[in-house]
Structure 1
């Protein structure tokens, strides 16, 4: 094993730091220099719990992939963090079996961030923890993999960008299709005028989500540090149907399926339209149609549509359906995008297959139908290479791209909850003459949790 270099740079960050509750962290940052042969030590924060349907456990997926890439990339998981200590044994065994090393276990992420041996943090926490964990990690001198969406709201996303910039951190956002060669080829064709001027992208997220049920509030299990799980979110009594993967479908902790699965397709749609800015207007509508209130505790819509308009007139449409439906187009696309241009159209499927057509022609003039290798493997490899080179420009999905795509989800949800069309001033990231909408750009943090000054 190659010996790791000594940490040689230390600097104080002033008074902003980790002081929360009884754990008083000093406001100290350190930066390590990594050479091409240095091992990169990783901590995965947020392990998740796999649901009977197979959903969830994103953190455990990262544990598996990082272990698989250990030799190839000279990386090692040295610690795992989750507020539910019941999740440690299975993940510890995975790391030990695949790498021969038993990781440290922490239920409080601040202990991970204070560990000078940790170079990189993979965050797979619920959405309401994304911003605070990210900013703490920036202050602690860690490089960061952020799970989408970037923040629980729009203002958090902007603060996360400011923190990454101030502390000069390499940050990759988990929009993994940006790493796929098939997707890159499709975007190249679109941007080079292969179907003329692309004026609209229609995004489909037809992914059946059966009810996860309903339960009465109860006492949390002893293995769960419930107050830490809530963190900055408003207090709510423990309910087994509102944790783990189900956090996505409650406004206090998640942002619905549009920001869970739909954000991947929205990111590709925005990429294909070549829109590197915010839209100027949004309208979203929908509802819960699959079950009665006493059958499921879900609050976010199971059916949602949204339309975004950009300053140059381009349109991005989104349609989410959590129930039974056919796909669309020649690829029978249930999850994907159709791009419309002045000279033709391009169908892009979830598995990164695509076909491009000229005008009314029945046969595609270009296509990719062989599935690419693992998307997450490719994006993680790209991230580690960018960390080694200390070069943000190498990232397939930097924090700015993550923010633009995540903001689409937040804008749609604000419009849906208010029930009206909204005008957005992207330069200031505020709504035009709409106090109610502007109040939804941020949230009150539950004490003693608070965002440090950036």
Structure 2
């Protein structure tokens, strides 16, 4: 797999820019901020979540959006107006993030780009002495997520992950109840991503619009022809750029599901099944998926439904906890044998300083204490990696007939329930004739969490990283 050294990267970047761009690579390259000094933030990626980043930072006292960055210049006017209307000034607009990283007055980079850019931009920003807010998932694959963590630690940067649930006091309190065993042992930590995702159709390849630097948009990903299903949202459903809905909306619920399992990092095994069902289109990722992960005493079960569906226990996008003594759903506890829910037990659980995930990030930038972060990059990396584990199992799997799904995942009661409800959702809820239809049964994979590698599975391990397109190359590691 091709890699580049830091020297090669800088040389390539300077040639690409035709200017003297270089990465400082030391803590000293970041400004030392006074308690009341303005924090200058560059926002990269201006569609979708980028608008939320602009909204959050533009309303904060002591924070100034210095730059708006996107390869597509068509995004600039709307976001400049958003800042001007909110804060009364106009940021500088730039297509290439590298032109921002060498600016000494930029203190932080807030990343809302497509997934395939998240880790590399985080690494570059850390090397340039900038703090980072990076949207979920923090990585496109497990390898680059680990390198992003290494960069944050090596360059002593504050790096917050965009899983906002970590700044929620109510979720923190529920995690404390699970840790304390208030409702007995946690048997199943269930996450749901029931979000309607209609067909994206088929878009022909064409020349990219002149307003977009498509090579820059591709960045680390392999070169492919332009089509309008990539820019600006449906890239989520292509493996080259996105991670499906489990790694889009679902990473929020995955993070909470793992958080609720006391002491959980990686599972010992993972298996996933599903398919892109109900229509044929250009997308590649599953719109229907179940993933099962073994955390010893607790199973983590993740369910994705992109076709119209009814809620499960009142939840569509959310988390459900199955304890020995009952179920927690919708902020209530439902004891076994009782139909009525009751308020959750009272418990104290603190969150870090600042208002919400963005406010918490800025507070930590000022304090210079990574421990102040609610959603530190390491937590983001591990939870993002769980989404990647599920997808890898799915991708190395094989097509199977729905006629055999009863034998697919064994006799475990919780897993059988999830599979049965999925089939009912497809057949009765969406009118699909499952007889003769195929789904994809992922391979059951054993995972060594300490090494962050699969056990004796070269095909699965090959998907832990990717080939990077020079000069947009994630290094093997950062010592």
Which TM-score bucket, shorter chain as reference? Answer: 0.7 to 0.9
Structure 1 residues 307 and 275, CA, compared in 2 at 3 Å: closer, same or farther? farther
2:310 matched residue in structure 1 = 326
2:139 is the alignment partner of 1:157: no
What is the distance in 2 between the residues matched to 1:356 and 1:327? 18
Gaps of 5+ in 1: 1-12, 49-56, 349-353, 369-375
SS of the residue corresponding to residue 83 of structure 1 reads: coil
Q: TM-score, normalised by structure 2?
A: 0.83
4+ runs deviating over 3 angstroms: 13-19
Q: How does 1:273-288 map to 2 (within 5 A)?
A: 273-288=261-276
Task: Give the total of aligned pairs.
Answer: 413
What is the distance in 1 between the residues matched to 2:319 and 2:23? 45
2:16 is the alignment partner of 1:22: yes
2:30 is the alignment partner of 1:42: no
1:267 matched residue in structure 2 = 255
Shift, 1:362, TM fit: 3.0
Greater shift after overlay, 382-391 or 356-365?
Answer: 356-365
SS of the residue corresponding to residue 233 of structure 2 reads: helix
Gaps of 5+ in 2: 346-353, 398-442
2:127 is the alignment partner of 1:139: yes
SS of the residue corresponding to residue 276 of structure 1 reads: coil
SS of the residue corresponding to residue 189 of structure 1 reads: helix
Maintained 8 Å contact 1:17/1:25: no
What is the distance in 2 between the residues matched to 1:16 and 1:388? 34
1:343 pairs with one of 304, 325, 334: 325
2:72 pairs with one of 84, 91, 103: 84
Greater shift after overlay, 320-329 or 29-38?
Answer: 29-38
2:400 matched residue in structure 1 = none
1:361 matched residue in structure 2 = 338
What is the distance in 1 between the residues matched to 2:141 and 2:263? 20
2:365 is the alignment partner of 1:384: no
Structure 1 residues 191 and 16, CA, compared in 2 at 3 Å: closer, same or farther? farther
Shift, 1:17, TM fit: 5.6
What is the distance in 2 between the residues matched to 1:130 and 1:361? 46
SS of the residue corresponding to residue 229 of structure 2 reads: helix
2:286 is the alignment partner of 1:301: yes
Q: Deviations over 1:338-378 (max 9, x none)?
A: 11112222114xxxxx111333233333249xxxxxxx961
1:10 matched residue in structure 2 = none
SS of the residue corresponding to residue 304 of structure 1 reads: strand
2:372 is the alignment partner of 1:394: yes
Q: Deviations over 1:26-85 (max 9, x none)?
A: 33240222222111111100101xxxxxxxx110111012112x22xx111011000000
Shift, 1:135, TM fit: 0.8
Maintained 8 Å contact 2:167/2:357: yes
What is the distance in 2 between the residues matched to 1:95 and 1:408? 36
Shift, 1:322, TM fit: 0.3
Shift, 1:199, TM fit: 2.2
1:423 matched residue in structure 2 = 446
2:381 matched residue in structure 1 = 403
Maintained 8 Å contact 2:31/2:105: no
Q: Deviations over 1:293-313 (max 9, x none)?
A: xxx211101101100002x33
1:371 matched residue in structure 2 = none
Q: Deviations over 1:169-212 (max 9, x none)?
A: 00100000111222222222222222111121111111111122
SS of the residue corresponding to residue 67 of structure 2 reads: strand
Maintained 8 Å contact 1:42/1:79: yes
Q: Deviations over 1:214-272 (max 9, x none)?
A: 21000100100001001111110000112211111000111111000111111111111
What is the distance in 2 between the residues matched to 1:203 and 1:451? 31
What is the distance in 2 between the residues matched to 1:274 and 1:308? 15
Q: TM-score, normalised by structure 1?
A: 0.88
1:4 matched residue in structure 2 = none
Q: Deviations over 1:307-340 (max 9, x none)?
A: 0002x332100110001111111xx111111111
Greater shift after overlay, 269-278 or 422-431?
Answer: 269-278
Shift, 1:432, TM fit: 0.5
Maintained 8 Å contact 1:17/1:136: no
Q: How does 1:98-177 map to 2 (within 5 A)?
A: 98-177=86-165
What is the distance in 2 between the residues matched to 1:303 and 1:275? 29
Q: Deviations over 1:112-137 (max 9, x none)?
A: 11111110110011111112111110
What is the distance in 2 between the residues matched to 1:444 and 1:14? 17
C-alpha RMSD of the superposition: 1.8
What is the distance in 2 between the residues matched to 1:218 and 1:27? 35
